[in-house]
Structure 1
């Protein structure tokens, strides 16, 4: 079994954890890669999401050899056998722990941004990672969760070797979606195993906290965060609609070549927009069968027509009919977004392109009326040049924002977060009522 990405893995894992829905559960993601998986589990179980941060305590003269580990709240797990064999003194242990605890606390502060750790006392702790190999980190995380008061500890991972999964006594229950024979590295079982940044972890924690707050304050509409199907002229498109309460704006995502509505990069951007009070519709503009023909990925008129069909679909729903609409396009999806915006006229209130190919909109560029932001990585030189040429052909309000140090996929630390904030501010300015805009315009 191969997972599309961590989102796909999280949803498949969540389906194996439905027996916990009635329990008092806290989902704990191991940063960084475990958090996108844990987010999907937390959403499916309607449970709070937190991180569980652990640090290895290495033997002073052989740091790669673990003599124990630490976690938050003073949690400490020691390996008495290693301590005895390595003859580690109390002073040596104290020095290593002091150093590693400073690193741990700094990381916790960065990820939680002042948010308190969720209390585990008497609750079921579901520890989630994107996969295990030796299982050493997962073991420590389970022990730390128990030290922090968890009444029961469940370890949940999408993939791991069978021998390791069978021998994890630190957990009361182990759930693993697949245990392939001849196990290799965890990343081999994902088509997209892109690195997860601290910024993505923070955004997911924020989004999960907002879900919990909404659940406490009001009964959310059942369709506020749901998979949807859209009729687009004889074909059915799959999408995911996420609406804040009393939504006034929705952004449709047009994905690039080789991507889908499960794209971790676009999901990250979508979570940032949602935090600003903007609804999102992530959708696949091609059916699985159509994706097999590579030419369809570059059929800009077809993709634009599908985007317009999704726009019309939004107008038929009671919860989105009055919303202002924006388009977010990545790679080839940006060309489709601009063509659709040109054809829809004033129905579209704003467009943002991230690492996009606006040049693929060709003669339609001059007909776009929606304010358009082009975001390009400073190291994506070919695409940057194409965006400059496209900008010169736009007649609408427009801006080109260059993110220093970013390449085409914005994989460098902090660059995707910078692009997401630029998009958020642009959409907030042109989609939200003036009274609802709480984020100041960023210097660009």
Structure 2
């Protein structure tokens, strides 16, 4: 008996990639180790239709097309071509073939690229019975259709967080802290972590110290291995309402921390704190950018909407304007400051714009806020951070359980990916906000419905 027969995990596989995988990660076909990768011809057709435009999916389509062109060279791509590296498999483009037995177009209906992609995978299964053919797609419905046709199907796992319920929160609650440590933290201004029974912490980690009588908040500095007190500091007339918000403000105001993520459900104050802290530090930065990805309803491009560019974009940016308006209302008795906030907008000190509009720019000395970051892919997050110039600070806010982008979920979105992979870097801080502060009525919706 062969080794493959004894151990099915050694069986060679052919992974068939759907368009959704390419749009998520244009380098996907290099991530399947020694196994072969097949690209249905319909995927190339869909990418050709998507290659023009300024959105991330357009850039991903163009990048993949260039990768395919470089990898194939002068070879015919409907034949197997070795991928780079001695341990890598091969790739090819699969033509528009129909299997002899189960025909996805006959079963599910003709005219859809998805069903022709299924037929391409079924044809490979028929042609290579000795190999395990697996359709890889971010589209759950397409995976279910594949399985109904006795075709193996799975999600694209690269970049996914394995256990999102254990995602880094940025804080630790320490109970039964000795009384003398509270006194030392107050009088000396810091305490050694050796005096506390805690595991080694990530840089810029936050702690809530408790005993039966007292509670204190502290920040861990990895360079000194000591805890320093965190105070509840008002920023642009906005006061933190809980410990986690105080931690968020501390990270946002710390000039040594260049990258901050704030994760939490609706109404926890993520965007409001980020904008208020930006205004508080306005003199330290050339401009303040507040952006968010535009996810149109029914996934139609905003070009379908009536009006000029501004009238098309404004509805998507309304939540950011609402936060700025709330900050302005904190100065109802200071007309001069209200006028200055308006001036920040008219002079371009504050720029509120869709994320797609800043593609390709170098961000130097910018306080850069990306709202709704859970709607970005890991590659998009990486691209944004790579644009950071000198003296720039980048803030990502979002709720990983409220995703509007097709084919992303709590495990595969860019915000979860960043939190998990950046948590041990000294330039980074994260805090998860748990308590809603919008209103008791909003908390009822979050907690009970």
TM superposition score normalised by structure 1 = 0.32
Structure number with greater Rg is 2
* TM-score, structure 2 as length reference: 0.32
* RCO comparison, higher one (Cα < 8 Å, 6+): 2
